[in-house]
Amino acid sequence: MRQFVVIGRDVPTDPDAVSLSDIPGAGRLDLCCRCVSAGVFLSHGIRESVRIHLVIADEFTVTFDSDTLRHLHPDERNVAARVRDALDAKDDAIGHMPADVSQGVELRRMGLDATLDRLVGADGRGPDGTLVQLHEEGDPLVDAEPPDHPVFVLSDHHDFTSEEAAAVADRSERRLRVGPELLHADHAITVVHNWLDTDGYTAY
Ligand SMILES: C[S@@+](CC[C@H](N)C(=O)[O-])C[C@H]1O[C@@H](n2cnc3c(N)ncnc32)[C@H](O)[C@@H]1O
């Protein structure tokens, strides 16, 4: 399983504030949608065992699960419509029980801390994986060993805030950079997939 946590701190939590004719205007939701597409889609196909978690306004987390997703298309409008559906269902998310939005899409009433706890625990080592922060000043990816069940955390168009950086650092000291240039988050996801697909650039 590969998982990506994307922080979308400016995305509105009110579904009525998400206009499909102005997706960037919804707190750069376009970036988050491209992260979902880069995470789950191949050309003419869908990846196995990938989950993308969009943390919205540190209040809700919308999860896309590639193994159970149905009828999702890679274009931003289609993904944004699913995020809006998820926000529309937020009243059904009670405590830490998710709201089922559609097959393969769930919304949880959880911000970054609770989502990281759910995915990797307070110590960053389980239940589901090893936490890795993707950061432009991290250690080079090429020198690292691909973890078995990585959970990568990325920011959107902003820097990580000090609270977000601390939430990640408390659970993991591991920071990796995918290359020398600052990339869009979705492009960084594509590079990471390629690193894992090639077992650390060793198997083509
Ligand atoms: C556009 S960048 C964030 C904005 C940036 N910190 C700034 O100065 O405006 C989006 C995210 O993609 C990831 N990212 C971008 N370039 C990267 C790189 N070279 N290595 C690792 N992660 C990268 C990071 O998680 C980053 O927070």
The answer to whether residue 9 scores a pLDDT higher than 90 is yes
User: Residue 95: pLDDT band by 50, 70, 90 thresholds?
Assistant: confident
Would you say residue 92 lies in a domain? Answer: yes
Is residue 144 located within the same domain as residue 87? no
With the most atoms of ligand 1 within 8 angstroms of its CB, the residue from 7, 135, 152 to mutate is: 135
Would you say residue 124 lies in a domain? Answer: no
What's the pLDDT tens digit per position in 32-88? 999 999 999 999 899 999 999 999 999 999 999 999 999 999 999 999 999 999 999
Task: Look at residues 51, 77, 108 and tell me which one is the last residue of a structural domain.
Answer: 108
Task: Give distance in angstroms: CA of 7 to centre of ligand 1.
Answer: 11
Q: How many other CB atoms sit within 10 Å of the CB of residue 46? A: 15
Give pLDDT, residue 125: 66
Q: Is 155 in the pocket of ligand 1 (CB under 6 A)?
A: yes
Would you say residue 156 lies in a domain? Answer: yes
Is residue 74 located within the same domain as residue 136? no
| Percentage of residues of the chain with pLDDT beyond 90 | 87
The answer to whether residue 128 scores a pLDDT higher than 80 is no
Q: Is 174 in the pocket of ligand 1 (CB under 6 A)?
A: no
Please identify which residue in the block is written with the tokens 């920011």.
155
Instruction: Output the 3-class SS for the chain.
Output: CEEEEEEECCCCCCHHHCCCCCCCCCCCHHHHHHHHHHHHEECCEECCCEEEEEEECCCEEEEEECCCCCCCCCCHHHHHHHHHHHHHCHHHCCCCCCEEEECCEEEECCCHHHHHHHHHCCCCECCCCEEEEEEEEEEEHHHCCCCCCEEEEECCCCCCCHHHHHHHHCCCCCEEECCCCCCCHHHHHHHHHHHHHCCCCCCC
Is residue 93 located within the same domain as residue 183? no
Q: Is 139 in the pocket of ligand 1 (CB under 6 A)?
A: no
Show the domain range for 34. 2-108
Is residue 94 located within the same domain as residue 51? yes
Closest to 177 measured CA to CA, from 143, 129, 134, 117 = 134
Would you say residue 187 lies in a domain? Answer: yes
In this prediction the pTM is 0.96
Would you say residue 118 lies in a domain? Answer: no
Q: What is the mean pLDDT of residues 112-136?
A: 86
Task: Give distance in angstroms: CA of 89 to centre of ligand 1.
Answer: 31
Is residue 144 located within the same domain as residue 95? no
Region for residue 136 given its phi and psi (left: phi exceeds 0; alpha: psi -120 to 50; beta: otherwise): alpha
Is residue 33 located within the same domain as residue 92? yes
> Which atom of ligand 1 approaches the CA of 178 most closely?
20
What's the pLDDT tens digit per position in 153-189? 999 889 999 999 999 999 987 899 999 999 999 999 9
Q: How many other CB atoms sit within 10 Å of the CB of residue 134? A: 24
Please state, in angstroms and rounded to a whole number, the distance separating the CA atoms of residues 112 and 55: 6
Give pLDDT, residue 123: 72
Is residue 12 located within the same domain as residue 99? yes
Is residue 6 located within the same domain as residue 103? yes
Would you say residue 7 lies in a domain? Answer: yes
> What is the domain-level CATH number for residue 103?
3.40.1280.10
User: Residue 126: pLDDT band by 50, 70, 90 thresholds?
Assistant: low
Please state, in angstroms and rounded to a whole number, the distance separating the CA atoms of residues 42 and 9: 27
Annotated binding-site residues read: 134
Domain tally for the chain?
A: 2
Give pLDDT, residue 96: 81
Task: Give distance in angstroms: CA of 184 to centre of ligand 1.
Answer: 6
Is residue 97 located within the same domain as residue 143? no
User: Residue 122: pLDDT band by 50, 70, 90 thresholds?
Assistant: confident
Strand partners, 133: 153, 175
Q: Is 140 in the pocket of ligand 1 (CB under 6 A)?
A: no
Is residue 137 located within the same domain as residue 74? no
Is residue 140 located within the same domain as residue 173? yes
